């Protein structure tokens, strides 16, 4: 049995489903996949029992096959080639060395061999593995940034509240609202985005555990995040609040900002959009160039169609909240964009940054060299520490105005 190569997009912990998937949190030790298993999905109209039999048969076949292996040195291309077809599509190979000025740790990360193929993995299993990785990352970040972390609810929405050790009295009237990454269907960032930022800003961070797709598609995550923000406005001045996120959370940050503007609510002091995008209707170059770990791992040629139908479902991909690049962005607060040259969302981040500039927003873009998607999650990378300090410094300066 051959899995049909349909494309499913995800961000911040899940890459693509294109028949066979190689997708994971870029810095973790496992491979994950996003498989469309619901018979109610308009992009996958098979009955649930048929899909289950399909999965079981595929798993049985996979068990009989050897595990996927990385490309060997003998198989790898050793020279650059390029062919441009009549439609302008580029068919290229490139030999790209690692920049010598990267840290030793980053060079080791980029030197990890990844299989060119991966096997589908049930969403429940991937979520459990993501949770296990996130717990280990939380412990590592806490050693660098001691904190008090509590689980709570705000406006009925589950949250994680990170209070940094040594919180000064002058910062008790300020709060940072984190919208975590994780492909909209898992949580890879509520620890890794909140603990270092709380530690480096010395400001409390509230990480929103918004409802996840596919069980709760758009606009559930937007609604939950807006509800928490509205509740925070009862305690904090809007100029003392920042909203930020990575990957899916970066996308969500822009979506929430547009929704707040539509509702006529006061906007926060600043936004942080760290490896995101604002257009579900079309891909940029970087989606075709990079997997979740940059050049490493399985990547199929992109096919036409909207991003992540499990998140957007029947929403028009040009809806201004779903895809803020089509919204009126005038009047948004100062925004910091961060990405990297081997980030699959490099194009999406750059395009949304340009749209903000064209709307007169104080929009700043920082691009790190050679590193893959969401590298700032990794507490072992000097570049990750640099990125988190840069994000924290931007927030502190905006809140100090």
User: What pLDDT shows up at residue 72?
Assistant: 85
H runs (alpha helix) in 236-275: 248-263
Residue that the structure tokens 């969401």 belong to: 374
CA distance 255 to 253: 5
CA distance 216 to 336: 29
Diameter of the chain measured on Cα atoms: 64
Percent of the chain with pLDDT over 90: 68
User: What pLDDT shows up at residue 74?
Assistant: 85
Beta bridge partners of 175: 204, 241
User: What pLDDT shows up at residue 32?
Assistant: 30
User: What pLDDT shows up at residue 14?
Assistant: 32
Q: Identify the weakest region by mean pLDDT among 43-57, 162-176, 240-254, 286-300.
A: 43-57
Count of C-beta atoms within a 10 Å radius of residue 125:
12
Sheet holding 270-274, edge to edge: 147-154, 157-164, 204-208, 175-179, 241-246, 270-274, 335-342, 363-372
User: What pLDDT shows up at residue 396?
Assistant: 98
Cα three-residue angle 316-8-94, rounded to 5 degrees: 115
- Looking at the predicted structure, is the pLDDT value of residue 203 above 70? yes
Tens-place pLDDT, residues 361-372 = 999 999 999 999
User: What pLDDT shows up at residue 24?
Assistant: 34
- Residue of 257, 265, 205 lying closest to 230 (CA atoms): 265
Of residues 18 and 360, more confidence is placed in 360
User: What pLDDT shows up at residue 69?
Assistant: 78
Tokens matching residue 22: 């190689």
Label the pairing between strands 16-18 and 81-84. unpaired
Tens-place pLDDT, residues 63-85 = 555 667 788 888 888 888 988 89
User: What pLDDT shows up at residue 22?
Assistant: 29
- Looking at the predicted structure, is the pLDDT value of residue 38 above 90? no
124-399 belongs to which CATH class?
alpha beta
Its pTM stands at: 0.84
Tens-place pLDDT, residues 245-302 = 999 999 999 999 999 999 999 999 999 999 999 999 988 899 999 988 899 888 877 7
**CA 310 distance to own-chain centroid:** 15
Tens-place pLDDT, residues 53-62 = 544 554 554 4
Beta bridge partners of 7: 18
User: What pLDDT shows up at residue 20?
Assistant: 27
What SS3 class is residue 323? coil
- Looking at the predicted structure, is the pLDDT value of residue 141 above 60? yes
User: What pLDDT shows up at residue 5?
Assistant: 28
What average pLDDT does the chain have?
A: 85
Structural domain spans, the chain? 124-399
- The 8-class DSSP code of residue 302 comes to P
User: What pLDDT shows up at residue 260?
Assistant: 98
Count of C-beta atoms within a 10 Å radius of residue 147:
21
User: What pLDDT shows up at residue 39?
Assistant: 31
């Amino acid at each position: 049995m051959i899995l049909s190569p349909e494309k499913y997009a995800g961000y911040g912990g899940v890459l693509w489903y294109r028949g066979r998937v190689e997708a994971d949190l870029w810095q973790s030790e496992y491979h994950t996949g996003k498989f469309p298993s619901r018979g109610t999905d308009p992009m996958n109209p098979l009955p649930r029992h048929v899909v289950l039999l399909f999965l079981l048969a595929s798993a049985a076949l996979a068990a009989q096959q050897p595990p996927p292996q990385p490309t060997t040195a003998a198989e790898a291309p050793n020279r650059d080639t390029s062919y441009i077809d009549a439609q302008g599509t580029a068919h290229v190979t490139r030999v790209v060395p690692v920049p010598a000025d990267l840290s030793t740790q980053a060079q080791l990360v980029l030197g990890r061999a990844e299989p060119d193929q991966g096997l589908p993995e049930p969403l429940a299993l991937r979520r459990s593995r993501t949770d296990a990785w996130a717990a280990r990352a939380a412990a590592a970040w806490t050693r660098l940034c001691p904190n008090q972390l509590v689980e709570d609810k705000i406006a009925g929405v589950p949250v994680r509240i990170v209070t940094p050790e040594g919180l000064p009295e002058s910062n008790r009237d300020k709060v940072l609202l984190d919208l975590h990454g994780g492909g909209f269907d898992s949580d890879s960032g509520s620890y890794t985005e909140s603990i270092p930022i709380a530690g480096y800003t010395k400001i409390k961070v509230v990480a929103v555990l918004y409802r996840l797709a596919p069980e709760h598609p758009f606009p559930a995550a937007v609604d939950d995040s807006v509800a928490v923000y509205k509740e925070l406005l009862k305690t904090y001045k809007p100029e003392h609040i920042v909203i930020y996120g990575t990957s899916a959370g970066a996308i969500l940050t822009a979506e929430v900002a547009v929704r707040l503007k539509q509702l006529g609510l006061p906007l926060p002091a600043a936004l942080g959009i760290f490896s995101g995008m604002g257009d579900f209707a079309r891909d940029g170059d970087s989606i075709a160039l990079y997997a979740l770990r940059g050049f490493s791992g399985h990547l199929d040629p992109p096919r036409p169609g909207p991003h992540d139908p499990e998140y957007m479902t029947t929403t028009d991909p040009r809806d201004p909240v779903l895809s803020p690049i089509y919204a009126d962005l005038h009047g948004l607060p100062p925004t910091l964009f961060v990405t990297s040259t081997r980030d699959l969302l490099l194009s999406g981040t750059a395009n949304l940054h340009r749209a903000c500039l064209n709307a007169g927003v104080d929009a700043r873009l920082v691009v790190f060299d050679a590193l893959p998607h969401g590298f700032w999650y990794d507490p072992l990378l000097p570049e990750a520490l640099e990125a988190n300090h840069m994000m924290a410094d931007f927030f502190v300066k905006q809140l100090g105005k």
